Amino acid sequence: MSSFPTPESVLPHRPPFLFVDEVIALDPGVSGTGLWRLTGDEWFFAGHFPGRPTLPGVLMCEAIAQMGAIAVLADGTFAGKIPLFGGLDGARFRRQVGPGDTLELHVELGRMSSRAGKGNGKAVLNGQVACECDLMFVFVDA
């Protein structure tokens, strides 16, 4: 049994827009790792693409950002706040991801202030990077 918080206990996101299923490593305010298990029943696979279901790259970036938000919000310094996207740089998509795949979401947080922060992350599939990006976020009141 994991000693880490559930994503739902930290994030305001809920299905169908909650993409982190489990937190497997966490250093609050510093880094985090989680899993997203894709079943094939997700709403986006039906139209992206019929006959060749593919996880949209932008949703991989969102999943990385959600893992980053867990790492941020697990630090009590940011209680009562929600980190929102302020920017996304250097996004690269390197592997196709589809039904039945499990992504490992890794995030390292960088500079943070009371108003904003930065981080970088990657989504890994079977030991290979599927997506990587740099995140910028701003804090708003929850």
Q: How far is CA 27 from the centre of its chain?
A: 15
Catalytic residues: 48
> For the chain, what is the HEC assignment?
CCCCCCHHHHCCCCCCCCCCCEEEEEECCCEEEEEEECCCCCCCCCCCCCCCCCCCHHHHHHHHHHHHHHHHHCCHHHCCEEEEEEEEEEEEECCCCCCCCEEEEEEEEEEECCCEEEEEEEEEECCEEEEEEEEEEEEEEC
- Both tokens of residue 46? 């039906």
